[in-house]
Amino acid sequence: MKLNHLPMFDVTLPVSKEKVKFRPFVMKEEKLLLMAAESQDVGDVFNALEQSITACTDGKVSCETHPMVDIQYLFLQVRGKSVGEELEFNLLCGKCNHKVPKTLDISSIGVEHTPNHTNKFFLSNDVSVTMMYPKIRHLGILSQENATLDDIYDVVAECIESINTSEEVYDRSNSSDMEFRTFVDNLTSQQFVQLKEFFDTMPAIRYQILFDCPACETKNRINLDDIVNFFG
């Protein structure tokens, strides 16, 4: 038997600007997320996130179709409506590993926008590239400790929406993944740095916590920018 009276909430996704409805997590999703966090396996984490977000939006939002930042922001909104806006956890001192209890108001976490951010880059007089925002799976690739340069190049290639030349436009409808990857492989270092700027300045969820350790008085700075930080 399923309950059909779960409350529904509205949210506007920060990057796509799409308005969607969502319900809170139910217990099976809470369990799935907790088990994924405890496993510390990247694949488990993103599978749990995909299943939960898709279920809570009745299939309207997916990690495969929506930008990474939209998914991260939506996850925080769903979590806040599911188990409360306040998140309790322990901070670890970077010097002595002393645990410091912390309560964080999820509603205070927003999306950071960089001024003059753009998704279009002119690599030469007759070549420009339009980028699209990475998906959650790209974060999974880059967060791996053994991520290689090839992994990074793959992510950049998969985030190219179109390549515009004086003669033709190459986009996802008329070009293969391999063609975009070959294009990235043949960029100069300076051109690659231009595309990297897109990732460095794109909208992102970041939250910084400053605290003094009561045990050793060390000043600590912790950045909460990993979605797993909010699974608990």
Q: Mean per-residue pLDDT for 5-31?
A: 93
For the cut 90, the answer to whether the pLDDT of residue 168 exceeds it is yes
SS3 125: coil
**Section 212-218 average pLDDT:** 94
Check whether 3 has a pLDDT greater than 70.
no
Q: Is the predicted pLDDT of residue 47 greater than 80, yes or no? A: yes
Q: Is the pLDDT score of 145 beyond 90?
A: no
For helices 177-185 and 149-158, the axis angle rounded to 10 degrees is 120
> How much is the pTM?
0.84
Packing angle, helices 42-56 and 27-39, rounded to 10:
160
Cα separations (Å) of 130 from 93, 178, 193, 195? 42, 17, 15, 9
- What average pLDDT does the segment 40-48 reach? 81
